[in-house]
Amino acid sequence: MKINYCPLCGTKTNSIHLGDEDLSLCPKCNKKYPSFNYTCVIIICINEEGNIAVIRQSYGVDRFVLVAGFVKPLEALEDCVKREVNEELGLNASNIRYLESIPMENTENLMCAFVCDVKGFISLSSEVKEIKFVKIDEAIKLLNSATIALKVVKDYARKL
């Protein structure tokens, strides 16, 4: 995403090229801004039986997805995984492993996929209306309309 207005002073920025980078320059602050992606995590949560959590959210399109969320400023990706799993499911994430990253063309989000083990008592946030822990084949079926989640689980299954 291109920075069209300076986040510090609100002045319209100018596009400049520096080496191989396209930057936005604030003519007032003289500050340069690279274009950016919002970073998100998407998480394969595995319970003690080895099953994967698929959830239905209480807003948006009614379909099964994986736990996911935006990374906060100054937050490590692994901490974001722990926070999202805890906020959405009430569970504790451990053994967090990076899988892959997927840039999304429509939103310009960078999805960073992780797998982790989850333990504890389920306590769903108001954003989640249903959770199912299912075998990987079943997860692939349930996630059929969630493009990114489906790719993440299929890629993960291929490496098992």
Q: Closer to Zn ion at the Cβ: 28 or 97?
A: 28
Only one residue has tokens 């890629």, namely 155
**71 close to 153: Cβ distance less than 8 angstroms:** no
In the structure encoding, which two tokens stand for residue 35, read together? 């274009």
Q: Closer to Zn ion at the Cβ: 8 or 76?
A: 8
* Element holding 112 (H helix, E strand): strand 109-119
Q: Closer to Zn ion at the Cβ: 27 or 120?
A: 27
Only one residue has tokens 């990706």, namely 77
Footprint of Zn ion on this chain (CB under 5 A)?
Answer: 6, 8-9, 11, 26, 28-29
Q: Closer to Zn ion at the Cβ: 30 or 95?
A: 30
Does the CA dihedral 84-85-89-91 come out positive or negative?
negative
Does the CA dihedral 70-127-84-101 come out positive or negative?
negative
Least distance to Zn ion from the beta carbon of 32, Å?
A: 11
Which residue minimizes CB distance to Zn ion? 6
Least distance to Zn ion from the beta carbon of 70, Å?
A: 25
Least distance to Zn ion from the beta carbon of 71, Å?
A: 25
Least distance to Zn ion from the beta carbon of 30, Å?
A: 8
